[in-house]
Amino acid sequence: MTREIMYRDALREAIDEEMAANPLVFIIGEGIAERGGSYKVTEGLLGKYGPKRVRDTPIAEAGMIGVGVGAAIAGARPIVEILYVDFAMLGMDMLVNQAAKFRLMTGGNGRVPFIMRTQGGTGGGVAAQHSQSLEAMFYHVPGLKVVIPSQPADAKGLLKYALRQQDPVIFLEHKHLYMTKGPVPEGELVIEFGKADIKRPGKDVTIIAWSNMVPRALEAAAKLAEEGIEAEVLDPRTLVPLDKEAILASVAKTNRVVIVQEAVRRGGVASDICSIIQEEAFYSLDAPVEIVAGLNIPVPFNLELEKASVPQVPDIIAAARRTLHLQPRALAAQ
Amino acid sequence: MPASAKRANAPSAELLEKLFRTAYKIRVFETEGIKLYRQGLIRGYFHPYLGQEGIATGVCAALSEGDIIASTHRGHGHCIAWGADVKKMVAELLQKESGYCRGYGGSMHIADISKGNLGANGIVGAGTPLGVGAALANQIKGNDAVTVTFSSDGGSNNGTFLESLNLAAIWNLSYVLVIENNHYAVSTRIEDSTREPDLYKRGLAIGVESHQVDGNDPLAVYHLMRDAVQKCREGKGPILIEAKTFRHMGHHVNDPGKYMPEKELAHYKERDPVDRARNALTEMTGIDKSQIDAIEEAIRKEFDDAVEFSKASREITLAEFQQFIDSY
């Protein structure tokens, strides 16, 4: 049976089910035990699994992440919750120099089944140090899997898969998504990494989006449909590994692409996906690939400025129309 | 102390021989390894453990199967003391497929996960959180294994030193942090890095039982470590041990170490840990010189054999490398 549950509940179900199944799974983080976490993802887990497997930590991100990586190397299954992705920057040595490289440095003998769960994105005036979308920082480093679900079912299935595979995973949630609802099947739900999902099928233009940009892309697609433009919304769900085949198949169908990311434009994942498309699907394209991204600035506190800093629905609609301008049958030419 | 207690604490001949064998094996590995480096057979970095042998020797002798160690960029000594296969170590330094990391890691990354060696580390101080993490894994698993991180005066000024030792403390982990205080972070003196050069005091500040020991005395290190391990197994960890020592040369093979005062170097060389291990063995057991010579000869032969083995080994192929390219 499938129910409608919140993103945060789906995450909790994944952790709960995997903790019940595997005694080596444990979770540490700031305020995650008694308090149940700032976003209530871990609510109730302390009572169920006890203080040995559900632990509060001091505010010490580099130490927490490093200890998680060490525990993973030694054969346990840690989940380290970092309150904001911004704070993960304090632990970058452990992610970039230790976790990501360990398998290769040991000639394949060592594995690091480590998960860092964290959240990013703008969220109603929390300002520059609590609003970033930093997926590109992790995407850039070979050895880290980058998982970034937009819907409750994806959140559950991908987290369960993360807890069963062998590599370090950066699991990026979004502060705006925790209380969004979606259908999630009861019981076993495991989603393999590297499988994109078509959130809305269409034939005229492909909108590639992830995390909180997926609901915005879907809203844009609904508005475009009123004008007769059928946009396909593709959510890669994991950026590493990236489902290149699904992207290329969609481009082959629509011949037009808009890539949407909340992260700043410069050096972003959208630019890399764009380079893949131009290299491997150049002759399918009927228009230049459009990238709709955050401005190359820190996110300001002022709500109007915050809004202006990251992609909004009208920006996505405008970009989709631009890709259709080059088409004689373009419906959005005005 | 009553005489009976004194006898019970007296080191066995077996232990004394083990300490000497280990210390001497590290000495040979480093001395001969430097020659291979000079010949161009070893590339990249090589940070000799010369002069510090007493620490790894004493610490590892007090550990058992199932325990875990995490090492530093100056890690050859820890590997050897942990019982590593010298053949696979030399092969790794010679970037051969038969090496511990199949030539992917090199001197700064030798690890043997299956035997509980989490490996050397190119980032100074990084072994501390990793070691605490391994201790946490053991607590989750519910076993009584002890994890040891070898760190250094340099590593103790990294922020993760406090962050992770503090985590070990609040969680009562079976963890021993061994600070090899060789007085230099590359070339910067410990006195120029901190106002309090007795580093064991840092553990006291966060409620961790902490000790200081002469790192050039393998037997003293062993005795202190044996007690620390015992306490950890009783759930009284973590414990911090600061072992004072001194390098015999610069930071790495190409650093002449001119900044090291001759007088101070001479002071520590007079207290050479390998000599002390040898003297302890001869004085306490009465073993004769020919037996010592035989031990040394066997160890030198083991190294020579390892070099022959490594030279005859092949390197990893680009086709094999594809395995990583495809999965990264």
Q: Which tens digits make up the pLDDT trace of B219-242?
A: 999 999 999 999 999 999 999 999
**What pLDDT band is residue A326 in, cutting at 50, 70 and 90?**
very low
Cβ–Cβ below 8 Å for B111 and A72: no
Looking at residues A297-324, what average pLDDT do you find? 96
Residue B1 has pLDDT above 50, yes or no: no
Q: What is the pLDDT of residue A132?
A: 98
SS3 B62: coil
Q: Please, what is the average pLDDT of chain B?
A: 95
Shared domain for A258 and A306, answered yes or no, is yes
| Contacts with B93 from chain A: Cβ below 8 Å | none
Q: What is the pLDDT of residue B8?
A: 55
Shared domain for A227 and A286, answered yes or no, is yes
SS3 B274: helix
Render pLDDT for B25-73 as a digit per residue (tens, 0 to 9): 999 999 999 999 999 999 999 999 999 999 999 999 999 999 999 999 9
Looking at residues B203-225, what average pLDDT do you find? 98
Q: What is the pLDDT of residue A140?
A: 98
Residues of chain A with pLDDT > 90, as a percent, come to 95
Q: What is the pLDDT of residue B96?
A: 98
Which residue is it, tokens 């609901």? A215
Cβ–Cβ below 8 Å for A63 and B123: no
Interface of B with A in 92-151 (CB under 8 A): 99-105, 109, 111-114, 118-119, 121-123, 126, 128-134, 136-141, 147
Residue of A55, A70, A108 lying closest to B130 (CB–CB): A70
Whether residue A130 lies in the annotated active site: yes
Q: What is the pLDDT of residue A1?
A: 83
Q: Is the dihedral of CA B297, B299, B301, B304 positive or negative?
A: negative
Residue A325 has pLDDT above 80, yes or no: no
Q: Looking at the domain assignment, is residue A318 inside a domain? A: yes
Shared domain for A129 and A161, answered yes or no, is yes
Using CB atoms within 10 Å of the CB of residue A206, give its burial: 0 to 12 exposed, 13 to 18 middle, 19+ buried.
buried
Shared domain for A176 and A230, answered yes or no, is no
Which residues are CB-contacts of A114 (< 8 A; sequence separation ≥ 6)? A68, A69, A71, A72, A78, A80, A99, A168, A169
Cβ–Cβ below 8 Å for B130 and A73: yes
Shared domain for A39 and A172, answered yes or no, is yes
Residue B5 has pLDDT above 70, yes or no: no
- The answer to whether B321 contacts chain A (CB < 8 Å) is no
> Which of A25, A105, A116, A167 to mutate: most B Cβ within 10 Å?
A105
Nearest by Cα to B67 from B125, B141, B9, B147: B147
Q: Report chain B's terminal Cα–Cα distance, integer Å.
A: 61
Shared domain for A161 and A53, answered yes or no, is yes
- The answer to whether B167 contacts chain A (CB < 8 Å) is yes
Catalytic residue among A13, A17, A18, A61: A61
Q: With beta carbons less than 8 A apart as the criterion, state whether A235 and A210 touch.
A: yes
Render pLDDT for B241-289 as a digit per residue (tens, 0 to 9): 999 999 999 999 999 999 999 999 999 999 999 999 999 999 999 999 9
The pTM (predicted TM-score) of the whole model is 0.95
Cβ–Cβ below 8 Å for A71 and B133: yes
Interface of B with A in 242-261 (CB under 8 A): none
What is the extent of the structural domain holding A220? 197-324
Nearest by Cα to A99 from B130, B131, B107, B99: B130
Q: Looking at the domain assignment, is residue A329 inside a domain? A: no
Nearest by Cα to B257 from B268, B273, B270, B272: B268
Q: Looking at the domain assignment, is residue A334 inside a domain? A: no
**Tally of structural domains, chain A:** 2
Residue B12 has pLDDT above 50, yes or no: yes
Q: With beta carbons less than 8 A apart as the criterion, state whether A56 and A65 touch.
A: no
Shared domain for A129 and A222, answered yes or no, is no
SS3 A89: helix
**A114: CATH:** 3.40.50.970
Alpha carbon of A156: minimum distance to chain B alpha carbons (Å): 24
Shared domain for A201 and A176, answered yes or no, is no
**What pLDDT band is residue B10 in, cutting at 50, 70 and 90?**
confident
Residue A330 has pLDDT above 80, yes or no: no
Least confident of B6-10, B93-97, B194-198: B6-10
Q: Looking at the domain assignment, is residue A192 inside a domain? A: no
Nearest-Cα residue of chain B relative to residue A65: B129
Q: Of A132, A155, A185, which closes a domain?
A: A185
Which residue is it, tokens 């000869």? B297
**A226: CATH:** 3.40.50.920
Alpha carbon of A288: minimum distance to chain B alpha carbons (Å): 30
Q: Looking at the domain assignment, is residue A127 inside a domain? A: yes
Cβ–Cβ below 8 Å for B122 and A66: no
Catalytic residue among A130, A135, A290, A306: A130
| Contacts with B67 from chain A: Cβ below 8 Å | none
Looking at residues A225-251, what average pLDDT do you find? 98
| Contacts with A26 from chain B: Cβ below 8 Å | 140
Looking at residues B126-152, what average pLDDT do you find? 98
**What pLDDT band is residue A328 in, cutting at 50, 70 and 90?**
very low
Q: Looking at the domain assignment, is residue A330 inside a domain? A: no
Cβ–Cβ below 8 Å for B171 and A55: yes
d(CA B91, CA B106): 9
Nearest by Cα to B33 from B289, B306, B326, B296: B306
Shared domain for A156 and A59, answered yes or no, is yes
Render pLDDT for A30-43 as a digit per residue (tens, 0 to 9): 999 999 999 999 99
Q: Looking at the domain assignment, is residue A317 inside a domain? A: yes
Residue A123 has pLDDT above 90, yes or no: no
Cβ–Cβ below 8 Å for A66 and B138: no
SS3 A300: coil
Q: Looking at the domain assignment, is residue A331 inside a domain? A: no
**What pLDDT band is residue A187 in, cutting at 50, 70 and 90?**
confident
Alpha carbon of A75: minimum distance to chain B alpha carbons (Å): 7
Number of other CB atoms surrounding residue B108 within 10 Å: 20
> Which of A59, A64, A73, A166 to mutate: most B Cβ within 10 Å?
A73
d(CA B193, CA B135): 29
| Contacts with B175 from chain A: Cβ below 8 Å | none
Residue B327 has pLDDT above 90, yes or no: no
Q: What is the pLDDT of residue B149?
A: 98
Q: Please, what is the average pLDDT of chain A?
A: 96
List domains and CATH numbers for chain B: 14-251+298-327 (3.40.50.970)
Whether residue A325 lies in the annotated active site: no
Cβ–Cβ below 8 Å for A66 and B140: no
Angle at the Cα of A171 from the Cα atoms of A167 and A177, rounded to 5 degrees: 160
Residue of B114, B134, B167 lying closest to A63 (CB–CB): B167
Shared domain for A165 and A44, answered yes or no, is yes
SS3 A292: strand
**Alpha helices (H) in chain B, listed in sequence order:** 3-9, 13-38, 53-61, 76-81, 86-93, 127-141, 159-170, 190-193, 201-205, 218-233, 262-270, 273-285, 289-312, 318-327
**What pLDDT band is residue A278 in, cutting at 50, 70 and 90?**
very high
Q: Of A137, A160, A185, which closes a domain?
A: A185
Residue B217 has pLDDT above 70, yes or no: yes
Render pLDDT for B153-174 as a digit per residue (tens, 0 to 9): 999 999 999 999 999 999 999 9
Shared domain for A299 and A249, answered yes or no, is yes
Q: With beta carbons less than 8 A apart as the criterion, state whether A63 and B167 touch.
A: yes
Q: Of A185, A207, A232, which closes a domain?
A: A185
Shared domain for A109 and A157, answered yes or no, is yes
- Chain A residues with CB under 8 Å of a chain B CB are 23-24, 26, 52-53, 55, 57-58, 60, 62-76, 78, 93-94, 97-98, 103-110, 142-143
